[in-house]
Amino acid sequence: MIGDLPKGLRAHLPILYPAVTLVVFFVIPFGIMLAVSFFQREPGGFYTTDFSIDNYANLFTALFGRVLTFSIFISAFCALICVAVGFPFTYFITRMPRRAQVVWLVILVSVLSLSAVIVAFAWSLLLSQTAGVSNLFVWLGLMEKPVSWSPGFWALTCGMCYIAFPYTVLVLYPPLSRLDPHLPEAAQTLGASPVATFFTVVVGSLRNAIVATLIMVFAFTLGTYLIPTILGRPQHWTLSVLITDEAIYRSNLPFAAAMSVFFMVVSLALVGLTMLAGKGRGPVQR
């Protein structure tokens, strides 16, 4: 019967293989990384076993502080843009006929699945001098001659929003499609304008979902690695770039591991916040 307690070893068999695989290939790697973050770097090799908190102490440098601040700033900025545009957008598509919804979802999932390398390449072309949108502006008479807008802060913002936008919509899609359609109708019957209805009823009843989405999109953009290296200048590098740089090009695995642990603590704190924000949603949903 479904919902039984598993009886004996035989009943436990199906879970043995997944559990062992996940422990060996996820929990143990994670543990190794945690351990390595306390090791000493060995010039020319990987590391030597040790217990020192030097790697963590080394975190407190001006460079790390600057990169961390910029990472948080750019991620928060992109999350705000994505949610501000994505919320009304998602609201519109959830009110569409199912067929149209599926078409939009296919476009969004396809964009979301694209490698960050490809997104960065596509945007660097779109903002380039020879093939970019500035040519269109020249043709329209808005500009004198075509220019290159990449790399740069706005190129980076475009690229990050491009990968974060579909994610935002997909996170907002479930709560918005569960929103009772009678609520906005009732508000309008009572005389509220469509704009007022949108802001007071739709936004109001999904306040927690919006906050949760903001945090999730923030955490998502915080993890991007390739976009800043291609569309940004060195001063636009994020924490993910710094970690990869340290691990691969400087072969300082212990320091990279310490940065990752710190980064993970920040991310976990964010996930915790998301869960808090996700709680206590009102009874307005079906």
Kindly give, in sequence order, each residue whose CB lies less than 8 Å from that of residue 205, ignoring residues fewer than 6 positions away: 179, 183, 282, 284, 285
Please, what is the minimum distance in Å from the beta carbon of residue 154 to other proteins?
14
Q: Which is nearer to other proteins, 27 or 80 (CB)?
A: 27
C-alpha R_g of the chain = 24
For residue 286 the two structure tokens come to 């079906």
DSSP letter string, 241-286: HHHHIIIIIS--HHHHHHHHHHHHHHHHHHHHHHHHHHSS--TTB-
Task: Find the binding residues for other proteins in span 7-46 (CB under 8 A).
Answer: 11, 14-15, 17-19, 21-23, 25-30, 32-33, 36, 46
212 touching other proteins, by CB under 8 A: yes
Give the torsion sign (CA, 67, 169, 90, 200): negative
67 touching other proteins, by CB under 8 A: no
Please, what is the minimum distance in Å from the beta carbon of residue 214 to other proteins?
11
98 touching other proteins, by CB under 8 A: yes
Please, what is the minimum distance in Å from the beta carbon of residue 97 to other proteins?
12
Please, what is the minimum distance in Å from the beta carbon of residue 13 to other proteins?
8
Classify residue 59 by burial, with Cβ atoms within 10 Å: 0-12, 13-18, 19+. middle
How many positions of this chain bind other proteins (CB under 8 A)?
Answer: 98
Among 72, 76, 85, 203, binds other proteins (CB under 8 A): 85
135 touching other proteins, by CB under 8 A: yes
